[in-house]
Amino acid sequence: MNTAARVESIDTSIRRRYYERIRPLNLTPLWESLHALVPRAPQTPCVPALWRYDDIRPLLMESAELITAEEAVRRVLVLENPAIMGRSSITQSLYAGLQLIMPGEVAPSHRHVQSALRFIVDGKGAYTTVGGERTTMYPGDFIITPSWAWHDHGNEGIGGVSEPVVWLDGLDIPMVRFFDAGFAENDDSKVQHVARPEGHSLARFGHNMVPVRHDHQSATSPIFNYPYARSREALAQLQKQEAPDAWLGHKLRYINPLTGGSPMPTISTNLQLLPAGFAGKPHRATDGAVYSVVEGRGHAEIGGQHFDFQPRDTFVVPSWASLRLTASEDAVLFSFSDRPVQQAMGVLRESFDEAAEAN
């Protein structure tokens, strides 16, 4: 009798007693978990979900009555994936939350090894200071806080007008937690000394040119604010000049101007325009993605589930879930994912054929 046949013939109770004997030695049988550890296709515990901003905003405003930005350090409502509640994660590798800063408030300076992005959702007049450079934030702006960079936020208003400002936070917290590599530090002062004029990094690196004697060594882009006005104009020009991609519409990725790669070492970011009447084909990828709706209305079919979206909504597409996007009017979507990490590991896979419809 060969080994496979002999093992098959062993009574399950004998196996169970064997497993109980080896457990005190911190041993487990691989053959009992092999198919779960090395599946034939991705099997994420995450599920598709959509968070309606109109439902969340009143709760954000209520939170301002309960705790100040300074006391909270960061006043955020975390967007937790419904299938993995309690882990402060929107996908297995990414964190997302909606942060509120009220007029006159300051979220004090600190730093951490987790890389962060801010995508401005609602309101204007707030600022963020990163590494001694301040930038005013407007809806649709994509702003980076590099790993271990000092940063603080404030809301001083513009032109004498002050209003609450909300942005979407995206961080690689679950990734850093997986590696047990998290560090954080509070600053000695609430706000940083501003050492460079606003727009300094954009002037140096934002025009397809690089200073000859630049000294930027970070893996993160030297530009930390990608203004929406410029990004939106790029999409508008693309819309005039060529037909939309059948799956993605007009989709552009933000880049690090020094490398052409992702602006952040662990998170990729994109902005896409779905023209009115667009009916996209299904596609899927292993990098689960978070979407923020900037303009317009449409529909997302995610893994067979249907979600209507409108401005300021957020939705998540889990790994390897089929995504089909449609738009009833011109719609602009910002998205981020863990694609750079998957590319570095050589495990990224995506599908743009009819097989993407199957899950």
User: Average pLDDT of 24-49?
Assistant: 96
User: For residue 192, is pLDDT > 90?
Assistant: no
Please report which residue ranges of the chain form alpha helices under DSSP H: 3-9, 12-22, 34-37, 53-66, 69-72, 173-178, 200-205, 228-241, 339-345
Distance CA 288, CA 299 (A): 18
Strand order across the 95-101 sheet = 76-78, 95-101, 165-171, 116-122, 142-145, 225-226
pLDDT value of position 217: 83
Q: How confident is the model at residue 11 (pLDDT cuts 50, 70, 90)?
A: confident
Q: Residue 206 — left, alpha, or beta (φ > 0 → left; ψ -120 to 50 → alpha)?
A: alpha
pLDDT value of position 300: 98
Mean pLDDT of the chain: 94
Query: Is 269 in contact with 336 (CB distance < 8 Å)?
Result: yes
pLDDT single digits (tens) 233-262: 999 999 999 999 999 999 999 999 999 999
Print the domain residue range for 20: 3-37
User: For residue 2, is pLDDT > 60?
Assistant: no
Query: Is 190 in contact with 70 (CB distance < 8 Å)?
Result: yes
User: For residue 3, is pLDDT > 80?
Assistant: no
pLDDT value of position 159: 81
Distance CA 305, CA 41 (A): 20
Q: How many domains does the chain have?
A: 2
Q: How confident is the model at residue 301 (pLDDT cuts 50, 70, 90)?
A: very high
pLDDT value of position 1: 46
CA 159 to chain centre: 32
- Residue 189 within a domain: yes
pLDDT single digits (tens) 70-89: 999 999 999 999 999 999 99
User: Average pLDDT of 190-210?
Assistant: 91
pLDDT value of position 4: 52
Distance CA 151, CA 286 (A): 32
Distance CA 309, CA 56 (A): 14
Give burial (CB, 10 Å; 0-12/13-18/19+) of 307.
middle
Distance CA 187, CA 193 (A): 11
Please list the residues that pair with 298 across neighbouring strands.
Answer: 309, 327
Same domain membership, residue 77 and residue 18: no
Range in 286-295, 329-338, 345-354 the model is least confident about = 345-354
Same domain membership, residue 311 and residue 236: yes
User: For residue 216, is pLDDT > 50?
Assistant: yes
Same domain membership, residue 30 and residue 104: no
Same domain membership, residue 296 and residue 250: yes
% of the chain residues with pLDDT over 90: 87
Residue 314's CATH number: 2.60.120.10
For 58, half-sphere exposure in the C-beta direction (CA atoms, 13 angstrom radius) is: 3
Distance CA 39, CA 43 (A): 7
Same domain membership, residue 7 and residue 100: no
Q: What is the largest CA-CA distance in the chain?
A: 87
pLDDT value of position 293: 98
Q: How confident is the model at residue 5 (pLDDT cuts 50, 70, 90)?
A: low
Same domain membership, residue 8 and residue 98: no
pLDDT value of position 160: 81
Distances (CA, A) of 240 to 95, 231, 243: 35, 15, 8
Same domain membership, residue 228 and residue 108: yes
pLDDT value of position 336: 98
User: Average pLDDT of 309-335?
Assistant: 98
Closest CA to 308 of 296, 298, 316, 293: 298
Same domain membership, residue 139 and residue 274: yes
CA 235 to chain centre: 21
DSSP 283: B
- Residue 244 within a domain: yes
- Residue 44 within a domain: no
Query: Token pair of 265, please?
Result: 């070492």
Query: Is 199 in contact with 206 (CB distance < 8 Å)?
Result: no
Distances (CA, A) of 151 to 73, 127, 135, 335: 12, 10, 11, 23
pLDDT single digits (tens) 339-352: 999 999 999 999 99
- Residue 43 within a domain: no
pLDDT value of position 8: 57
User: Average pLDDT of 277-303?
Assistant: 98
- Residue 247 within a domain: yes
User: For residue 62, is pLDDT > 50?
Assistant: yes
pLDDT single digits (tens) 91-126: 999 999 999 999 999 999 999 999 999 999 999 989
Same domain membership, residue 332 and residue 188: yes
Same domain membership, residue 204 and residue 76: yes
Closest CA to 50 of 329, 353, 305: 305
User: For residue 193, is pLDDT > 60?
Assistant: yes
Q: How many CB atoms neighbour CB 354 within 10 A?
A: 9
